[in-house]
């Protein structure tokens, strides 16, 4: 009997180290299921009784349903985006830019109304002369230069017109002679 216990103790030792085979585990379950268990091994009896009872436990018929109900979450469906839907952010941005430009244009037109056609930044002008007479001389000199330029240009136009008229006259005269 002592020898058997020795064997059981060895099996137990191997059981804790997870080295027992299924057959050896069955021997242990059978041993601990009997009423006559030695005193030193009795603490393990309840453990093996519990283990054995758990083996009889089986999944119920509703197990699958329960599990499936837990994992059966709502499915995210892919939405179909149309061309307009895809380009909408860009269209919105373009519209914003267009609005800004339009407002800028309106602001410009407002600031530069009929009464304010001169849109120059005169505040930045720094006078060269403090004497108005000197300024007048400078202005009149500049006006003279422009005037000379315009007169020169007008004369040149008149000359070229005169030359072209003369050339046209010669051509007409030759045409009459040929007839």
Site residues, other proteins (CB under 8 A): 100, 103-105, 107-108, 111-112, 114, 117-122, 124-129, 132-133, 135-136, 138-147, 149-154, 156
Tell the smallest beta-carbon distance from residue 146 to other proteins (Å). Answer: 5
Tell the smallest beta-carbon distance from residue 93 to other proteins (Å). Answer: 15
Tell the smallest beta-carbon distance from residue 148 to other proteins (Å). Answer: 8
Cβ distance to other proteins smaller for residue 82 or 115: 115
Which residues, including other chains, have CB under 8 Å from residue 31's CB and lie 6 or more apart?
Answer: 8, 37, 48
Contact 31, 8 (CB under 8 A): yes
Q: How far apart (Å, rounded) are the C-alpha atoms in residues 46 and 168?
A: 135
Cβ distance to other proteins smaller for residue 149 or 169: 149
Cβ distance to other proteins smaller for residue 114 or 177: 114
Q: Among all chains, which residue has been given the structure tokens 């137990």?
A: 12
Cβ distance to other proteins smaller for residue 85 or 149: 149
Q: Among all chains, which residue has been given the structure tokens 């519990």?
A: 50
Element (H, E) at 113: none
Tell the smallest beta-carbon distance from residue 122 to other proteins (Å). Answer: 5
Q: How far apart (Å, rounded) are the C-alpha atoms in residues 178 and 58?
A: 130
Tell the smallest beta-carbon distance from residue 95 to other proteins (Å). Answer: 14
Cβ distance to other proteins smaller for residue 46 or 140: 140
Contact 120, 111 (CB under 8 A): no
């Amino acid at each position: 009997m002592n020898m058997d216990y020795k064997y059981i103790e060895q099996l137990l030792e191997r059981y804790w180290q997870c080295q027992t085979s299924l057959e050896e585990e069955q021997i242990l379950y059978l041993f601990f299921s009997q009423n006559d268990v030695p005193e030193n091994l009795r603490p393990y009896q309840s453990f093996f009784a519990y283990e054995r009872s758990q083996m009889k436990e089986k999944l119920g018929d509703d197990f699958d349903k329960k599990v499936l109900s837990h994992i059966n979450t709502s499915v995210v469906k892919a939405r179909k985006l149309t061309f307009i839907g895809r380009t909408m952010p860009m269209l919105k941005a373009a519209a914003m830019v267009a609005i800004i430009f339009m407002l800028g244009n309106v602001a410009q037109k407002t600031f530069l109304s009929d009464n304010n056609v001169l849109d120059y930044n005169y505040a930045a002008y720094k006078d060269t002369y403090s004497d108005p007479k000197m300024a007048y001389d400078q202005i009149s000199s500049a006006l003279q230069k422009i005037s000379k330029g315009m007169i020169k240009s007008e004369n040149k136009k008149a000359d070229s017109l005169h030359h072209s008229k003369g050339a046209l006259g010669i051509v007409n005269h030759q045409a009459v002679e040929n007839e």
